[in-house]
Amino acid sequence: MRNLRFALKQEGHSRRDIFEVLTKYAFPQSHNLLFFAFVNEEKFSENGWMVYNPMSEYRRQGLPNERWRVTFINEHYGLCDTYPSLLVVPYNATDDDLKKVAAFRSRNRIPVLSWIHPETQAVIMRCSQPLVGMSGKRNKDDERYLDIIREANRQISKLTIYDARPNVNAVANKATGGGYEGEDAYPNAELFFLDIHNIHVMRESLKKLKDIVYPNVEESHWLSSLESTHWLEHIKLVLTGAIQVADKVSSGRSSVLVHCSDGWDRTAQLTSLAMLMLDSYYRTIEGFEVLVQKEWISFGHKFASRIGHGDKNHADADRSPIFLQFIDCVWQMSKQFPTAFEFNEQFLITILDHLYSCRFGTFLYNSEFLREKEKVTEKTLSLWSLINSEKSEYTNPFYSKEVNRALYPVASMRHLELWVNYYIRWNPRIRQQQPNPVEQRYMELLALRDDYIRRLEELQITNNSKISNSSASSTSPSQMVSQVQTHF
């Protein structure tokens, strides 16, 4: 969110040339040029394209197992052109079943597995809305399929369906052939609406936010102007929804199905945030990259349409800051759990910078299918190459590794804050203390500790040798040294 204005000194010199060149290169897509990513010749020591391998990610989750199988039905994107080629579905559902279900789901985005709880075996599934329509169509295969999902967890209680939309919107979608799972058709499922608004509302909200921080920060009525943008309200709703999903899976031990309309915006936000809350792996740098790669990139969040890479039509109705909102939610979580994330704020800001930059192929195009067609992985570099080559810059010094701990942020307005370091970072009045004094102090303390431990070891060795010189009773000190080492 920065606007620049250049003043040309030479009077009379035509600004036209510059303007033309600028528009041409700023919007390559509209001028039949290649993205910068395709001509970028940077070299990195790490290859970011290797970070995500769907098969090994599912294996990490313990899949496939006796109840869940991997299907290659979408290998050539025949079933669904916005899904990845590799999908995890219930063992008891045949590929034929899947095809029938696909006919009843918007854009063929059938319910597939996103994440499985290692202990409860409850799963998070994602899909798009069912094509119920005005007449209230039903589809036996879809109904049976949802029941299979429920049974895969040997679950007696109902399957929980979270529809991310506000109730009204879901109803309104019936007019265009969409809708939601009705009680009659799905007696074994419970449906909740999460009241998250659509992409247009989010776009307007961000626009308002921009208006109050640029060019000048609205000072006199800061809080009410911030409120009038509704930005934090939307953040709160997304977080609240994700908490509900996570809590249901973890504490409620119930499988959940998440969808919105097409299942690539709000659904991605909810599943990825819930997974971040439940699975500590995704809170590492590598894990977060996998999460973005999996839930967002491979499952067809329409980055090209939402961001408008290289397109000069910036007023397009498809634009929306859905991914930015997700990163904002992650930042809010990292504020509340400062030691739970391996990555720091800079990591999140870098991701957002390159979301728009087109320097890397990572966020280009709308789906895996298109990326394969454009040979993105061969012709461009991955953002993760940049990050993984200099991991230390993106590492949170306070991170302490914990396994399998669920984090539930407090989604109260008393805790949510505007991400000043991102949204208002270009304002010269925002001075960030560099380096961050808290981090600095902690690093000093850690260095001091290492120094002490080293000295302690040395002394122990001296002490040890003294003892062995003079007596034979030296048992503990040598053990002590090894003990010291093992703890680190």
Partner 1 sequence: MEHIRTTKVEQVKLLDRFSTSNKSLTGTLYLTATHLLFIDSSQRETWILHHHIAAVEKLPLTTSGCPLVIQCKNFRIVHFVVPRERDCHDIYNSLLQLSRTAKYEELYAFSYNPKQNESEQVKGWQLIDLAEEYKRMGVPNDYWQLSDANRDYKICETYPRELYVPRTASKPIIVGSSKFRSKGRFPVLSYYHKNKEAAICRCSQPLSGFSARCLEDEHMLQAISKANPSNRYMYVMDTRPKLNAMANRAAGKGYENEDNYSNIRFQFVGIENIHVMRSSLQKLLEVSGTRGLSVNDFLSGLENSGWLRHIKAVLDAAVFLAKAIAVESASVLVHCSDGWDRTSQVCSLGALLLDSYYRTIKGFMVLIEKDWISFGHKFSDRCCQLDGDPKEISPVFTQFLESVWNLTEQFPQAFEYNEAFLLQIHEHVHSCQFGNFLGNCQKEREELNLRLKEKTYSLWPFLLADQKKYQNPLYNPDFSPELTLLEPNTVSFNFKFWRNMYHQFDRSMHPRQSVFNLIMNTSEQNKQLEEDIKELEAKIKQRNGQSDVVLEKEQELTTHHPAPMALKSPSCFQKEPPPMPANDAVRTIEGSNTADNRYSELVSEFSKAEPAVVSLEYGVARMTC
**Region 228-257 residues binding partner 1, contact defined as CB under 8 A:** 230, 232-233, 236-237, 240, 243-244, 246-248, 251-252
Exactly one of 9, 429, 435, 482 binds partner 1 (CB under 8 A); that residue is: 429
Catalytically annotated residue among 127, 260, 329, 358 = 260
Nearer to partner 1, 151 or 218 (CB): 218
Measured CA to CA, the distance from residue 102 to residue 82 in angstroms comes to: 12
**Region 430-449 residues binding partner 1, contact defined as CB under 8 A:** 430-431, 437-438, 441-442, 445-446, 448-449
The 3 state secondary structure assigned to the chain is CCCCCCCCCCCCCCCHHHHHHHHHHHCHHHHCCCCHHHHCCCCCCCCHHHCCCHHHHHHHCCCCCCCEEEECCCCCCCCCCCCCCCEEEECCCCHHHHHHHHHCEHHHCCCEEEEECCCCCCEEEEECCECCCCCCCCCHHHHHHHHHHHHHCCCCCCEEEEECCCHHHHHHHHHHCCCCCCCCCCCCEEEEECCCCCHHHHHHHHHHHHHHHCCCCCCCCHHHHHHHHCHHHHHHHHHHHHHHHHHHHHCCCCCEEEECCCCCCHHHHHHHHHHHHHCHHHHCHHHHHHHHHHHHHHCCCCHHHHHCCCCCCCCCCCCCCHHHHHHHHHHHHHHHCCCCCCECHHHHHHHHHHHHHCCCCCCCCCCHHHHHHCCHHHHCCCHHHHHHHCHHHHECCCCCCCCCCCCCCCCCCCCCCCCHHHHCCCCCCCCCCCCCHHHHHHHHHHHHHHHHHHHHHHHHHHHHHHHHHHCCCCCHHHHHHHHHHHCC
In the complex, least distance from residue 347 CB atom to partner 1, rounded to whole angstroms: 17
| Residue 47 engages partner 1 in binding (rule: CB under 8 A) | no
Tokens representing 396 are 């949170």
In the complex, least distance from residue 102 CB atom to partner 1, rounded to whole angstroms: 32
Exactly one of 221, 373, 375, 393 binds partner 1 (CB under 8 A); that residue is: 221
Q: Which stretch binds partner 1 (CB under 8 A): 97-105, 147-155, 183-191, 418-426?
A: 418-426
**Region 144-203 residues binding partner 1, contact defined as CB under 8 A:** none
**Region 82-141 residues binding partner 1, contact defined as CB under 8 A:** none
Nearer to partner 1, 32 or 470 (CB): 470
In the complex, least distance from residue 452 CB atom to partner 1, rounded to whole angstroms: 4
Exactly one of 31, 55, 404, 426 binds partner 1 (CB under 8 A); that residue is: 404
Q: What residues pair up with 130 in beta bridges, in sequence order? A: 105
Q: Which stretch binds partner 1 (CB under 8 A): 7-15, 221-229, 323-331, 369-377?
A: 221-229
Exactly one of 227, 316, 353, 390 binds partner 1 (CB under 8 A); that residue is: 227
Tokens representing 294 are 């999996």
Nearer to partner 1, 135 or 469 (CB): 469
In the complex, least distance from residue 160 CB atom to partner 1, rounded to whole angstroms: 12
| Residue 1 engages partner 1 in binding (rule: CB under 8 A) | no
| Residue 370 engages partner 1 in binding (rule: CB under 8 A) | no
**Region 301-340 residues binding partner 1, contact defined as CB under 8 A:** 336-340
**Region 200-219 residues binding partner 1, contact defined as CB under 8 A:** 217, 219
In the complex, least distance from residue 419 CB atom to partner 1, rounded to whole angstroms: 11
Exactly one of 403, 434, 435, 482 binds partner 1 (CB under 8 A); that residue is: 403
In the complex, least distance from residue 410 CB atom to partner 1, rounded to whole angstroms: 5
Measured CA to CA, the distance from residue 155 to residue 148 in angstroms comes to: 10
Residue 260 a catalytic site member: yes
Tokens 């060149």 sit at which residue?
A: 21
In the complex, least distance from residue 429 CB atom to partner 1, rounded to whole angstroms: 6
**Region 447-476 residues binding partner 1, contact defined as CB under 8 A:** 448-449, 452-453, 455-456, 459-460, 462-463, 466-467, 470-471, 473-474, 476
In the complex, least distance from residue 232 CB atom to partner 1, rounded to whole angstroms: 7
Which residues are known catalytic residues? Answer: 260
